[in-house]
């Protein structure tokens, strides 16, 4: 863990299970129906209590790509879930990079808007699973958006990029070191 460029806030990379993290909010790589699907979305729904989370999500009425919605964390160690709807990769010509950037930007803005209770959050690699976004393009976007938000935030104290495997964690660590946000351990 190293300080972000904005001061005392920390950016960290781990390989592990995002549903087990004791943070204020986990970011869910959600679908637009907020219905709980495969990958990290399904894992978060199962760990939070599928029926309870599903009812809360249904009440929100969905979420457009690039946007976020907030629910309680229910049975998760996290007190809240920020549902971010990432883009499906279509070859790069359908504004996917900007839509992905909006996911990270809007998730950070949601945390800052709820500063009294959301000071630490964990992100998965949004859109890099079944949505097919190439990690070599997604990771720099994620790091840039989180780093930039943290330079403006006085409330977010810790951000974790929680990766599903060692290769993805190494990619995040390398990008953080390259961007000057942190250095590898």
Catalytic residue annotation: 41
The three-point CA angle 69-149-4 to 5° equals: 130
b/e per residue 108-147 (b: at least 16 CB within 10 A): bbbbbebeeebbbbbbbbbbbbebebebeebbbbbbbbbb
């Amino acid at each position: 863990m190293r300080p972000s460029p904005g001061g005392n806030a920390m950016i960290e990379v781990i390989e592990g299970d995002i549903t087990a993290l004791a943070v204020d909010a986990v970011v869910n790589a959600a679908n637009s129906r907020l219905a709980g699907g495969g990958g990290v979305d399904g894992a978060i729904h199962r760990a939070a209590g599928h029926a309870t989370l599903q009812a809360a999500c249904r009440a929100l009425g969905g979420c457009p790509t690039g946007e976020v919605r907030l629910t309680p964390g229910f049975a998760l160690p996290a007190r809240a879930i920020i549902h971010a709807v990432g883009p499906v990769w279509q070859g790069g010509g359908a504004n996917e990079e900007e839509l992905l950037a909006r996911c990270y930007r809007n998730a950070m803005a949601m945390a800052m808007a709820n500063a009294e209770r959301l000071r630490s959050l964990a992100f998965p690699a949004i859109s890099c699973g079944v949505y097919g976004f190439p990690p070599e393009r997604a990771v720099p976007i994620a790091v840039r958006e989180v780093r930039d938000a943290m330079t403006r935030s006085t409330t977010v104290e810790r951000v974790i990029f929680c990766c599903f495997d060692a290769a993805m964690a190494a990619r995040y660590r390398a990008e953080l070191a390259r961007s000057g946000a942190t250095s590898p351990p």
